[in-house]
Structure 1
């Protein structure tokens, strides 16, 4: 930032740091509160879902079969006479759907007289005296003929027959919206899943002495599900990589990120690394990329970020009063509040508890009566009550991520003082982050079109898997 910009900021007595009348700093107050919530990654969506664990002995064609006491084996005890005396049984729960794949297996202990065993998926209203696939909203792979049945009496060529000693599996690929079936550890085939609503893993027996054992994951599968899942993710990645992008656009996006957050040293390293290998790319005209706006106050923003990251809040306050007094002139603003909180937190971090108490009485007490600040004030003060505050419920305040929230807030507030800024939302997020937010929105929309089936989109997991694939 040149001296003329610095002078214009210092001489200004006020600035409109708000979005729609809302204090820009309140966005970061919300971010600070989010840190107190349990991290979503602590329990993945897929892990939180209840999966099938056994067969449902209540809803089954009990007159034709016997289910073992462990509810994992089925034996046909009658003599089949027609198509309505099938021994079908569903799992006790529908297949979980907030994941990439679901899968279960069936071991054919005895194919009986006719080998009319089958595996598939059925709806809750399925007629249990019928084979899966013979009725609407059901799909089944049958052992006696190797045909696939999808809601009708006529099957379609699909795979090999199976009999005594074979292990057959059925699964759902939520990403491709397909059923897939396996035999003895190998994929037999896939078919489009044109069924909606909850689907129950289902097995059926239909001739004398037929017996099957079901594996819902209580023991290792014959089929290598992890490898299959990894292959499916690679397919998705390959599809993404086919998308054409302007040459070296990623270089400019990363560069704009570093400029936005004031990472001047890293920016210089990036420049030196790409000086001889990356041809210049201009994003200005097509994407509204304004180089001057991102260069605004770069040196000052870098200095303040380093101070806050080092816990030197007094020095940061001093520089703000010197360079951008309008940002800290309202002591009741979210910006001042978060800076005072961080000063208090830093004192607790280094064990200066008496000084923290004194600082809290002087600087934090003024926020007790302000409802929007009450929750965070209470968490800050609570740090004093614990011998090991890092292990307390308020320990999140001592994480480095909390310093980053405050540093990002100061960075955004400085960007908002630029007289040329047209959209204050642009002060909150870099171009890279806006792209990632759009990516997240698109993934969520795609999932909603599939009835919210499939794994939720987790940006950190997606980025980590990409890095592993490229390593």
Structure 2
């Protein structure tokens, strides 16, 4: 063997090893897939420490504020912020006030202010603040001159203020209807803020503890619909979208579905012509299609012994290292299948024979412990390691084997990336990167993009 061939062989071996380790990491991450991101702290009450206390009294529950003085000057304002800034990892943030008493002048306002806001001024009268005022219906944005905005509000009215992070706008409501929107040109954390400015003015604040007068869920749904409509305006040639789907089915060995898909494509009017273009090389993903299909079906049915037997017969190089990540995942799955059918004694014996060899190896230790932990529960599906009994775990193992077989294709230029992701998945990864970049350009504000959540919401919408 030449030196060049030897180096290629070594690099190919390391590529395969990295490939199987990537899938091992996916299996490890599966334990956290059911967990949701920890939500940010949201405002829950008024901040009695940072307020113009000489002109305002906050109730013991910190959800009501009343102006008890007599205003003699423009800066005799009773201002109070929320105890926390508006959270930013969402599509919309919103809060409301109920005007219990408009007092002598009705100089009540609602809005958002920065942490450094002067607590003797109305929201909107200072830089880095925005406020909708009840006595004149004007909107103030960083200076003392207001702009025409909406109706006045008084005793009995419910007024809300919100931030639409997708459109980067403030919006305000009155009695459940949107009054108007303005560009959000303030950077940094923003605190929900209220102000009262004449005797006996009193407002109650609702940070979400009670149902809002404004239908926030419907508003969010409409915003998402706007996003969807803008996406659907982008047209793609039919053959391109079909080719992407077809390549996905080929990549993962779904031969029967592929045949049905091809038949459906031919029966459309006009028929969809699948051209070999846009960088697709179908020969790479046609490789060993029948074998990949058979092995995926065996693993999805829980027939791990048969899958191992076929691998030893067809692709012995994949399982020759009995301590590889691929073999580890297959042995783990065999153990899991025994637990699934209640064959616990057999599972123990199998664990001692096959899983024991992975004890003490840092790469495998946590998953070995999770597998063994299945034996400790009367109802393992309901336990913290129940994710191992889900169909998704079988899919991880099947995807590993599929990718490892694709990596043996001598014509594949990049065994790691070629076997790892289908063209469709590469596009979805690009989508994720673009959405993250878009959020970054908006100051890291707005919903954090989760592809799985988007796909699940699409499934629900079709049901």
TM-score, length-scaled by structure 2 = 0.93
Matched residue, 2:425:
433
Give 1:22 shift: 4.3
Matched-pair contact (CA < 8 Å) for 1:23–1:334 = no
* Gap change, CA 1:186 and 1:391, over 3 Å in 2: closer
Give 1:377 shift: 2.0
* Gap change, CA 1:357 and 1:21, over 3 Å in 2: closer
Matched residue, 2:390:
399
Give 1:307 shift: 0.6
Give 1:52 shift: 1.3
Which of 357, 378, 383 in structure 2 is aligned with 1:366? 357
Q: Does residue 1:423 correspond to 2:390, yes or no?
A: no
**Separation in 1 of the partners of 2:344 and 2:76?**
77
Matched residue, 2:6:
none
Q: Does residue 1:35 correspond to 2:38, yes or no?
A: no
Matched residue, 2:442:
450
Matched-pair contact (CA < 8 Å) for 1:132–1:138 = yes
Matched-pair contact (CA < 8 Å) for 1:133–1:140 = yes
Which of 433, 448, 452 in structure 2 is aligned with 1:460? 452
Give 1:404 shift: 0.9
Matched-pair contact (CA < 8 Å) for 1:15–1:326 = no
Matched-pair contact (CA < 8 Å) for 2:16–2:404 = no
Matched-pair contact (CA < 8 Å) for 2:244–2:424 = yes
**Separation in 2 of the partners of 1:448 and 1:373?**
35
**Separation in 2 of the partners of 1:171 and 1:363?**
58
* Gap change, CA 1:38 and 1:293, over 3 Å in 2: closer
TM-score, length-scaled by structure 1 = 0.91
Q: Deviations over 1:60-97 (max 9, x none)?
A: 11111222222222221222222111111111111111
* Gap change, CA 1:179 and 1:416, over 3 Å in 2: same
Matched residue, 1:242:
233
**Separation in 1 of the partners of 2:430 and 2:273?**
22
* Gap change, CA 1:341 and 1:461, over 3 Å in 2: closer
Matched residue, 1:376:
367
* Gap change, CA 1:221 and 1:148, over 3 Å in 2: same
Give 1:175 shift: 0.7
Which of 10, 17, 23 in structure 1 is aligned with 2:18? 23
Over the aligned positions, Cα root-mean-square deviation in angstroms equals 1.9
Give 1:401 shift: 1.3
* Gap change, CA 1:20 and 1:273, over 3 Å in 2: closer
Give 1:169 shift: 0.8
Which of 288, 313, 321 in structure 1 is aligned with 2:312? 321
**Separation in 1 of the partners of 2:443 and 2:363?**
37
Give 1:363 shift: 2.0
Matched-pair contact (CA < 8 Å) for 1:147–1:156 = yes
Which of 122, 125, 129 in structure 2 is aligned with 1:134? 125
**Separation in 1 of the partners of 2:346 and 2:306?**
17
Q: Does residue 1:89 correspond to 2:80, yes or no?
A: yes
Mean Cα displacement is larger for which, 341-350 or 301-310?
Answer: 341-350
**Separation in 2 of the partners of 1:123 and 1:302?**
59
Q: Does residue 1:103 correspond to 2:113, yes or no?
A: no
Q: Does residue 1:386 correspond to 2:377, yes or no?
A: yes
Give 1:418 shift: 0.9
Give 1:384 shift: 2.8
Matched-pair contact (CA < 8 Å) for 1:50–1:96 = yes
Mean Cα displacement is larger for which, 354-363 or 320-329?
Answer: 354-363
Matched residue, 1:80:
71
Q: Does residue 1:226 correspond to 2:217, yes or no?
A: yes
Matched residue, 1:252:
243
* Gap change, CA 1:314 and 1:282, over 3 Å in 2: same
Mean Cα displacement is larger for which, 355-364 or 92-101?
Answer: 355-364
SS at match of 2:96: strand
Give 1:15 shift: 8.7
Which structure 2 segments of 5+ residues have no match?
A: 1-8
SS at match of 2:267: coil
Which structure 1 segments of 5+ residues have no match?
A: 1-13
* Gap change, CA 1:131 and 1:369, over 3 Å in 2: closer
Matched-pair contact (CA < 8 Å) for 1:347–1:353 = yes
SS at match of 2:186: coil
Paired residues in the alignment total 453
**Separation in 2 of the partners of 1:204 and 1:283?**
65
Give 1:419 shift: 1.0
